[in-house]
Amino acid sequence: MSVNGRAPLERVVITGMGWVTPLGDDLETVWQDLLDGKSGAGPITRFDVSDYPTRIGAEIKDFKPEDYIEKKTIRRLDPSEQYAVVASQKAYDDAGLADASIDLERAGVIIGSGIGGITTFETQHKKLMAGGPGRVSPFFIPMMISNMCAGVVGMRFNFQGPNYATVSACASSSHALADMFHYIQRGDADLGLAGGAEATITPTSLAGFCSARAMTTRNDDPLSASRPFDKDRDGFLMGEGSGMMVLESLTHAKKRGAKIYGELCGVGVTCDAYHMTAPRPDGAGARRAMSLAIADGGLQATDIDLVNTHGTSTGLGDIAETKAVKVVFGEHANSLLVNSTKSMMGHLLGSAGAVEAIATIKSLQTGQVHPTINLDEHDPECDLDYVANTSRTVKISHALTNSFGFGGHNVSLLLSRYDGE
């Protein structure tokens, strides 16, 4: 299919993946942990949380940026930027790009972040209050602004194509993948690194989400705190980290003999235009995003085998998304597998979409679907097959992964198994 007289649209494939997550940063080890239903939750250890209603989260543990970044440079990067660099390096290496012949002017970087360098903001604000403006670091602004994840990664690999940040709360990294998909599909880039990074387990961020009463307070049992679609869920569990993918035109990937994990076939992007933090109760925005993604990929609803949900473990969100799935798929909804990566990873906010897209691609590649853990008794209004507590082995061909953000932002990505055709 051509667009406005231009060349036919390129197919877009995934040739590299990397992540930094509460379960670790090795692609295959973390994937096995997800299949095993392992949770990355625990008490927050980074600062004193004794006065907070929520005292648990899914922190990054044993992170060693010095394995990838010079120590001098580490001091000049916010944790979100460090996560982005490491996940990007892993994806870059996984795709074999170091030995590839690349037109660097046709290689881009788009990295979403919902909040950006809030650790840096808090640290430098303390210095300002204690010692005046002269104490604020000259690196404060580049360490804090959300676009610098993409800027730093672009400089690291000398990628000179499209480079910017997407900021749409918890849909940020899915918007990044959608944008890179369109650049490559139109022929405006050959490949790109796309995904998200977030490091928001900080005093101010945690306080804000606690005040919004959006988070779980199951402090005595963190491993079971994130429980999407369960009748006893009481809010989301905050996580942090980064997920990055190498998206590439099929033509370019074949030419350089790249391994191919799967294909990004379509995207759907909508807005609820309803409320700053709550979804439309009937899930209309989510429904349209899923329908648009399926249509964009030239498929029918009955072609879809799996939906990796936004699935945050919030009362309104889980019900609205379930309603949306049932409307989109009709009777086929009863045959779908539906799961939530957040049950184990927690909610990685702006980086959640990319991390969950990686998990979805692994399902398509391996024929294994990770469970939704802590689903002991379904909410009566959440009555789909959520792959409760135990993984499944089943061949799947097409899957959706959903991301929804404060402000009413909705993104659905259509991912497909690649069989060499």
Phi–psi pair at 382, nearest 5 degrees = -120, 90
CB distance 313 to 236 below 8 Å: yes
CB distance 150 to 109 below 8 Å: yes
Reduce the DSSP state of residue 341 to 3 states and report it. Answer: coil
310 belongs to the catalytic site: yes
Task: Tell me which amino acid residue 197 is.
Answer: A
Q: Which is nearest to 58 in space by CA: 319, 412, 316, 341?
A: 341
| Residue 235 region by backbone torsions, left for phi larger than 0, else alpha for psi between -120 and 50, else beta | left
- Give the CA distances from residue 73 to residues 65, 159, 209, in Å, rounded to whole numbers and listed in that order: 10, 19, 31
Give the torsion sign (CA, 351, 353, 356, 361).
Answer: negative
Of 175, 310, 398, 409, which is the active-site residue?
310
DSSP label at residue 303? G
Tell me the two tokens of residue 123. 């640290």
Of 175, 252, 347, 409, which is the active-site residue?
347
Residue 267's contacts (CB-CB under 8 Å, 6 or more residues apart) are: 177, 178, 181, 182, 292, 293, 296, 411, 412, 413, 414
Alpha carbon distance 6, 8 (integer Å): 7
Alpha carbon distance 109, 155 (integer Å): 10
Q: Do the bridges between strand 306-308 and strand 398-405 make them parallel or antiparallel, or are there none, so unpaired? A: parallel
382 belongs to the catalytic site: no
Could you tell me where the beta strands, DSSP code E, fall in 275-382?
306-308, 337-339, 368-369
Number of H helices, E strands in the chain: 13, 14
Strand order in the sheet with 107-112: 163-164, 107-112, 191-198, 241-249, 12-20, 262-271, 409-416, 398-405, 306-308, 337-339
- Give the CA distances from residue 360 to residues 11, 128, 202, in Å, rounded to whole numbers and listed in that order: 18, 44, 29
Residues with catalytic function: 170, 310, 347
